[in-house]
């Protein structure tokens, strides 16, 4: 991507600066030649796409479609993507329903090739909805090239609000987070839980998340993050903890190097060098 966002500073202070300029930076990105060409092409062509094969046969459309759901890395896995789309999501045995990453399920449901006789690509607002996701994901990707923590925070800000507002049970919402690597990373870090908890069985992981959420944020629910204040606290805590972890890692590495240098110097002195 040719667009390069302005990232000023690091840590939480840099995040605050990014959020302050996010609207302006999104406008600048949308007006960049590459994004504008992709959007214009998508609007002009998506209405003619009525089957999964139609989408597979147009790499440019497929790139926009996959990027909108954070799946752009699968652009060369056409047989797999076609299976995800043609199976749909309404059948219990559909591939998208079996995959841990639920972005595939969202992707398949959004297009509706395997679920309806008339796919969603024929709806008047399909292009607008898909391109809104494409812009958001594209900005996150561009930001991530400079700061991976900010990319995860932007993704969590968007995805968690949607998840928190769903009518599904709290248990289902927590399991959705556990099955979504970017959201899981943000939540685990913010709650001060180690990555090694992934070796625990799912029920114990669920309990650990709920207990820590109650301790840190005052409630055991995912729904609490529909609140702007709770979301802001979550992201602030994530970024501060991530910054501390990075500092500790760098300090540990520096100490190890210093120790090696001191050991080498001591050996040289002992040998009379």
Kindly report, residue by residue over 36-60, the tens digit of the pLDDT. 999 999 999 999 999 999 999 999 9
- What's the CA gap between 9 and 71, in Å, rounded? 29
Percent of the chain at pLDDT exceeding 70? 89
Contact predicate 209/218, CB 8 Å: no
- What's the CA gap between 14 and 33, in Å, rounded? 27
CB neighbour list of residue 235: distance below 8 Å, 6 or more residues apart = 15, 153, 156, 157, 186, 190
DSSP assigned state of 57: T
Mean pLDDT for the chain? 90
| Residue 6 φ/ψ region, left for φ over 0, alpha for ψ in the -120 to 50 degree band, beta for the rest | beta
Residue 35's H or E segment, with its range, is helix 33-45
pLDDT digits (tens, 9 = 90+) for 80-99: 999 999 999 999 899 999 99
Phi, psi (degrees; rounded to nearest 5) at 218: 95, -10
Name which of 91, 117, 104 is nearest 179 in CA terms: 104
What is the location of CATH 1.10.3700.10 in the chain? 11-144
| Alpha-carbon distances of 65 from 68, 84, 105, rounded to whole Å | 5, 13, 14
Q: What is the CATH number of domain 11-144?
A: 1.10.3700.10
pLDDT of 231 over the 90 cut: yes
Q: What is the pTM of this model?
A: 0.82
């Amino acid at each position: 991507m040719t667009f390069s966002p302005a990232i000023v500073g690091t840590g939480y202070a840099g995040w605050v600066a990014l959020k302050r300029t996010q609207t302006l930076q999104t406008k600048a990105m949308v007006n960049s030649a590459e994004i504008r060409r992709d959007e214009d092409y998508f609007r002009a062509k998506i209405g003619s796409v009525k089957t999964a094969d139609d989408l597979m046969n147009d790499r440019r459309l497929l790139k926009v479609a996959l990027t909108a759901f954070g799946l752009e890395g699968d652009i060369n896995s056409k047989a797999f993507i076609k299976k995800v789309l043609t199976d749909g999501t309404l059948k219990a045995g559909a591939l998208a329903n079996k995959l841990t990453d639920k972005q595939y399920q969202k992707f398949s449901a959004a297009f509706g090739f395997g679920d309806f006789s008339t796919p969603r690509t024929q709806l008047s607002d399909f292009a607008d909805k898909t391109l809104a996701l494409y812009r958001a994901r594209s900005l996150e990707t561009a930001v991530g090239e400079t700061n991976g923590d900010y990319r995860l925070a932007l993704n969590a800000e968007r995805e968690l609000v949607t998840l928190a507002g769903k009518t599904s049970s709290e248990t289902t919402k927590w399991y959705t987070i556990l099955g979504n690597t970017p959201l899981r990373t943000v939540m685990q870090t913010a709650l001060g839980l180690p990555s090694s908890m992934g070796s625990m069985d799912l029920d114990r992981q669920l309990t650990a998340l709920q207990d820590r959420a109650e301790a840190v944020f005052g409630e055991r629910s995912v729904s609490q993050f529909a609140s702007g204040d709770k979301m802001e606290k979550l992201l602030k805590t994530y970024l501060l903890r991530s910054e501390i972890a990075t500092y500790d890692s760098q300090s540990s590495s520096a100490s190890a190097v210093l120790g090696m240098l001191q050991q080498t110097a001591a050996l040289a002195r002992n040998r009379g060098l």
